[in-house]
Amino acid sequence: MRRKWVLPAVAAVTLTAGVTGGMYLGSSEDGPLKKWIGKMETDGEVDKQEKAAVNDKELGKVEQAYDLILSSYVEEVESDQLVEGAIQGMLTTLDDPYSVYMDKETAKQFEETLDSSFEGIGTEIGIDEGKIIIISPYKNSPAEKAGLKPKDQILKVNGESVEGKNLYETRLKIRGKKGTSVTLEIKRDGVANPIIVKMVRAEIPLESVFSAVKEEKGKKMGYIELTTFSVNTAADFKNHLQKLEEQNIQGLIIDVRGNPGGLLSSVEEIVGNLVTNKKPYLQIEERNGDTRAYFTNLKEKKEYPIAVLMDKGSASASEILASALQEAGGYPLIGDRSFGKGTVQQPVPMGDGSNIKLTLFKWLSPDGNWIHKKGIEPTIEVHQPDYFNLQPLAIDKTLKRDDNSEQIKHAQEMLSGLGFESSRDDGYFDQRTEVAVKAFQQQNGIEVTGKLDQKTAGAIETALIEKIKDEQNDIQLKIALKYLAK
Amino acid sequence: MRRKWVLPAVAAVTLTAGVTGGMYLGSSEDGPLKKWIGKMETDGEVDKQEKAAVNDKELGKVEQAYDLILSSYVEEVESDQLVEGAIQGMLTTLDDPYSVYMDKETAKQFEETLDSSFEGIGTEIGIDEGKIIIISPYKNSPAEKAGLKPKDQILKVNGESVEGKNLYETRLKIRGKKGTSVTLEIKRDGVANPIIVKMVRAEIPLESVFSAVKEEKGKKMGYIELTTFSVNTAADFKNHLQKLEEQNIQGLIIDVRGNPGGLLSSVEEIVGNLVTNKKPYLQIEERNGDTRAYFTNLKEKKEYPIAVLMDKGSASASEILASALQEAGGYPLIGDRSFGKGTVQQPVPMGDGSNIKLTLFKWLSPDGNWIHKKGIEPTIEVHQPDYFNLQPLAIDKTLKRDDNSEQIKHAQEMLSGLGFESSRDDGYFDQRTEVAVKAFQQQNGIEVTGKLDQKTAGAIETALIEKIKDEQNDIQLKIALKYLAK
């Protein structure tokens, strides 16, 4: 799985979608949905005058509150602040984390980050039940190397709480010049105390397609990983697939694990290479309940079998791909249940540099299922081993026999993942935990003390990261290869 | 400290303030601040027309967003919802938990609860750093009996998250018919797992003044506890004080521990009995920075010494009383640092049944200190013993030697508070913990198993609650009595 770290200028658009953990219709959109958007604009024109009269009455109360706050609040307030608060407040009532307002400044800084690459820690973030969470770190990014995991909740950035912050504000705090460092405070399910993770920012490349040929039972299997769905992804996918087919692959794995989504047009084009026109690959539901089915132009299916790898970080466009391949293509989904985002957004400019990215419709699977907040169940459910949920070990003082702490609990779980069973994993440093530590130290050329010091903790962490990176331990991939070769 | 549980109709107004953990100017307000409010209304009139023109331009963007959401969001949206969201959103930008919007329904239900008494669990709630917290449970209320503590964070009410809910919504969920039950999920500092507390709602009386005579070194000491500052509090205080003085007290303790505040007029009237006109008892700072000092009419100070008892639940009007008695009266404050709320609110009706309670000014101490978010440092700092921070023991299975859990940690701390030292308090059930459990069981007539079962846990909790209720263990009160008698 060697990758080229190329920085294409256009692929940067991916981020726009990626950062919200979602998919949207970009301005270059020319898929089947364009017509709908045109319709919307026309509608808006028709009853504009009628609406204005109604608004005057309904918004009168907003104006009354606006006047009161401006004139009487204990401190001077900027009118801009109230206007943006009002818009933010209206969007909040929708209870939809994907409908967001970007003020001028945020939108401007955001545009700048779209240039050709960006500098940061390389992770998608999203909102789940009001919390800002990691969707998935990019491959080989500082975020991945530091052990950040999908569903980790971000509590603080550089000591500052993200409570009440939206995704854009949070993302802008995380990003920064290459070589500078940023500290996140993370809350992870099942871990009582927040985890502090310090990372050095790097240039994050935006290549979204990676491929390889893998051997299984003497058969050549094509493997294509999609990390996001950007403007270039579909064309890149086609090129990679063509090269694989030239090598006479006898099966294909499409890996969308940790892929947070992206452009609808991009996933539509990819699905167009794989799923025939016998069934719709997607349905779109408008707010009046009307649904419309969309079909590819493909007549013949591929001669080789296909499988999709997905996990809880596979969201939005990844889920469109997965459900199309499963329900329309009859191909299996292997891995964990997916994220569950079944809506489509479009950014609407407000005319002053700010914009509102609004959820316009739902997408349904070929069979008409809405997977929002549910995710897609895999055809073959395969979980990675427990030790894939690595927690960084923060050892500030040496831990030893009879000590009792959360850190020891993590160390016990990690030692267990490395094959050094310590009989208990509840944080109490018993005699068998000591034996496990000694055995690990022995095997790794560290002075055998039986104590958990910083050096030993660091070595445990490194050993586990190596083990996770080793493709031999990627059980989901292994099952997929076995499935295709049978 | 026996109390009459009387339910006066008028004292109910107290709640309006109490629930926000704060003080406000009620409609019956006739204190020194009335003039200021009149002024504000005049100002509003003067440049009304000018403002209207400006608003049209500034609020145009709000209208644009309003139209977009109404016409295009994936689901039908009520215009009322957007209007209220906009108002809520503007208030949110103030970053002031005490400036809140109450919609028609909330305001209506809220009025109903003000009748003569209310039915609920009896606790003040407030907002601290965006979290909904317990300010302080009322004396003898279900909340107090269940062990809720100031600064406990409320996570859920009856299993439903309060995230994104305001104080009023949360309070209305907690309240309900007497005899019905409500379950809170609580996060307490230093406790990893949320605590589940189930309580049966009761009729909560609204008497706010309690008094007693206490003996110290043969001297008679008056003791007056103020639980809130309602419309009746000042008159009641005067009556209680007169009765104490008729008994020739040689000192007076005013206890505002756990008192979240209330009406400004109420505390002003009380301070008028105690602090002379040599120094201001309070300063009010308007938003333009102008400050005005307020003086009592009192010429002579009391012949006896006075001390104030306060803690981290003493907020707002309690802090006005404390700072007036300290800085203007020269009396000592004994206990813990107070809550820290230095602003004044007034509810402004919106004309349709809803209203905005807005922060209008800051209050400063006699010497001009603004204690907001800092609290007042006690003159004599005295903390209650650690075991006052009782955590309910939730034992779902019997715990024994070599077990390791959060519950064991709590039990160890509680046993320690009861005098059964168990050598460690980190949750590991070692031999000495077993000895402590056995000793407790022996002394309390429970079968001596050395295991922590539900019966033993219940007995530990009961014993500790008894110990906390015992006035002999109220160290803050003891120190105050000693101070006055010296």
Per the residue annotation, which of B149, B341, B357, B467 is the catalytic one? B341
pLDDT of residue A41: 33
Question: So what's the pLDDT on residue A190?
Answer: 75
**Is the model's pLDDT at A110 over the cut of 70?**
no
- pLDDT, position A126: 83
Q: What is the pLDDT of residues A423-440, one digit of tens each?
A: 788 999 999 999 999 999
Q: Assess whether pLDDT exceeds 50 at residue A125.
A: yes
Among the ranges given (A121-125, A219-223, A291-295, A367-371), the one the predictor scored with the smallest mean pLDDT:
A121-125
Name which of A355-364, B199-208, B359-368 the model is least confident about. Answer: B199-208
Q: Is B40 on the interface with A (CB under 8 A)?
A: yes
Give the span between the Cα atoms of B235 and A417, in whole angstroms: 70
Higher-pLDDT residue of B392 and A305 is A305
The pLDDT value recorded for residue A386 is: 85
Mean pLDDT of B375-399: 88
Question: Which pLDDT score, from 0 to 100, does residue A168 have?
Answer: 78
The 10s digit of each residue's pLDDT in A304-329 is 999 999 999 999 999 999 999 999 99
Higher model confidence: residue A388 or residue B86?
A: B86
The 3-state DSSP composition of chain B as helix, strand, coil percent (nearest 5) reads 35, 20, 45
Kindly state the average pLDDT of the residues B324-345: 97
Domain spanning B387-471, CATH class: mainly alpha
> Other CB atoms closer than 10 Å to residue A458's CB: what's the count?
13
How many angstroms separate the CA atoms of B410 and B380, rounded?
30
Distance, CA of A467 to CA of B412 (rounded, Å)? 40
The lowest-confidence range among A166-180, A467-481, B25-39 is B25-39
Distance CA A474, CA A468 (A): 8
pLDDT for B52 equals: 53
**Cβ-nearest to A86 among B79, B90, B402:** B90
Best to test chain A binding among B90, B101, B166, B169 (most A CBs inside 10 Å): B90
Among A113-122, A267-276, A462-471, B230-239, the minimum mean pLDDT is found in A113-122
Nearest residue to B222 via CA among B328, B311, B303: B303
Considering only B138-142, B242-246, B264-268, which range has the smallest mean pLDDT?
A: B138-142
Instruction: Categorize the per-residue pLDDT at B29 as very low, low, confident or very high, splitting at 50, 70 and 90.
Output: very low
| Residue closest to A220 by CA, chosen among A190, A192, A263, A250 | A250
pLDDT computed for residue A460 by the predictor:
92
- Which of A274-278, B48-52, B171-175 shows the lowest mean pLDDT across its residues? B48-52
- Residue B395 in 3-state DSSP? coil
Residue B37's pLDDT is: 34
Predicted TM-score (pTM) of this structure: 0.72
Q: How confident is the model at residue B87 (pLDDT cuts 50, 70, 90)?
A: very high
- Report the pLDDT value the prediction gives residue B22, as an integer from 0 to 100: 36
Choosing from A117, A141, A208, A316, the catalytic residue is: A316
- Write out the two tokens for A82: 């109230």
Residue B108, pLDDT > 90, answer no
Q: What percent of chain A has pLDDT over 90?
A: 62
Residue A280 φ then ψ, to 5°: -65, 150
Top CATH class, A209-344+362-384? alpha beta
Mean pLDDT of all residues in B284-311:
96
Asked if A321 and A308 count as a contact pair (C-beta separation under 8 A), the reply is yes
Residue the block writes with tokens 């009396």: B331
B472 belongs to the catalytic site: no
Question: What's residue A433's pLDDT?
Answer: 95
Phi/psi at B105 (5° precision): -60, -50
Structure-block tokens of residue B291: 């400050």
Residue ranges of domains in chain B: 114-205, 209-344+362-384, 387-471
> In this model, does residue A27 exceed pLDDT 90?
no
Question: What does residue B110 show for φ and ψ, rounded to 5 degrees?
Answer: -65, -45
| Listed range (A169-178, A276-285, B55-64) with the worst mean pLDDT | B55-64
The token pair at A421 is 């069973």
- How far apart are alpha carbons B265 and B368 in whole angstroms? 20
Does residue A333 surpass a pLDDT of 60? yes
Task: Look at A65 and B93 and tell me if their CB atoms are within 8 Å.
Answer: no
The closest of B15, B147, B75, B111 to B349, measured between CA atoms, is: B111
**Within an 8 Å CB–CB cutoff, is residue A153 touching chain B?**
no
* Mean residue pLDDT across chain B: 85
Q: A81 CB near a chain B CB, below 8 Å?
A: yes
Enumerate residues 6+ apart whose C-beta is below 8 A from B218.
none
Q: Which of B74, B89, B350 sits opposite A64 (nearest CB)?
A: B350
For the residues B234-248, what does the mean pLDDT come to? 96
> What digits encode the pLDDT tens for the residues A59-84?
899 999 999 999 999 999 999 999 99
Q: What is the pLDDT of residue A116?
A: 38
DSSP string, B64-99: HHHHHHHHHSSS---HHHHHHHHHHHHHHTTT-TT-
- A345 has catalytic annotation: yes
Question: Residues B124-158: pLDDT tens digits?
Answer: 888 877 789 998 788 888 999 998 988 899 999 99
Query: Which of B262, B280, B264 has the alpha carbon at shortest distance from B226?
Result: B262
Catalytic site includes residue A151 = no
Mean pLDDT, all residues of chain A: 85
Residue B33 has pLDDT above 50, yes or no: no
Name the least confident of B230-239, B281-290, B320-329.
Answer: B230-239
CATH of domain B114-205: 2.30.42.10
Q: Of all residues in chain B, what percent carry a pLDDT higher than 90? A: 62
CB interface of A with B, residues 318-347, below 8 Å = 343
pLDDT value of position A461: 87
User: Most B CBs within 10 Å: which of A87, A345, A403, as the mutation test of the B interface?
Assistant: A87
Cβ pair B149, B389 in contact under 8 A: yes
Q: Which of A258-272, A365-379, B78-92, B93-107 has the lowest mean pLDDT?
A: B93-107
Residue B479 clears pLDDT 70, i.e. is over it: yes
The mean pLDDT value for A262-272 works out to 93
- Higher-pLDDT residue of B474 and B391 is B474
Q: Which two tokens stand for residue A361?
A: 């419709």
pLDDT of B34 higher than 90: no
State whether A83 and B69 contact (CB < 8 Å).
Answer: no
Say if A49 is an interface residue toward chain B (CB within 8 Å). no
Does residue A124 register a pLDDT over 60?
A: yes
pLDDT tens-place string over residues A134-161? 987 888 889 999 989 888 999 999 999 9
- Put simply, the answer to whether A67 touches B55 (Cβ < 8 Å) is yes
**How much is the average pLDDT of A42-53?**
43
Query: Residue A61 and residue B87: Cβ atoms within 8 Å?
Result: yes
Mean pLDDT over B62-68 rounds to: 95
The answer to whether the CB atoms of A68 and B348 lie below 8 A apart is yes
- Alpha-carbon torsion (A131, A136, A138, A143), positive or negative: positive
The residue with greater pLDDT, B223 or B173, is: B223
Point out the catalytic residue in the list A136, A345, A354, A422.
Answer: A345
B residues 170-199 closer than 8 Å to A (CB): 192-193
Task: Return the ∠ at Cα A419 (arms to A415 and A421), rounded to 5°.
Answer: 65
Q: Is the pLDDT of residue A204 over 60?
A: yes
Q: Which residue has the higher pLDDT, A48 or B102?
A: B102
Q: Are A233 and A270 in contact (CB under 8 A)?
A: yes
A114-205 against A209-344+362-384: fold identical: no
Label residue B16 by pLDDT band (50, 70, 90). Answer: very low
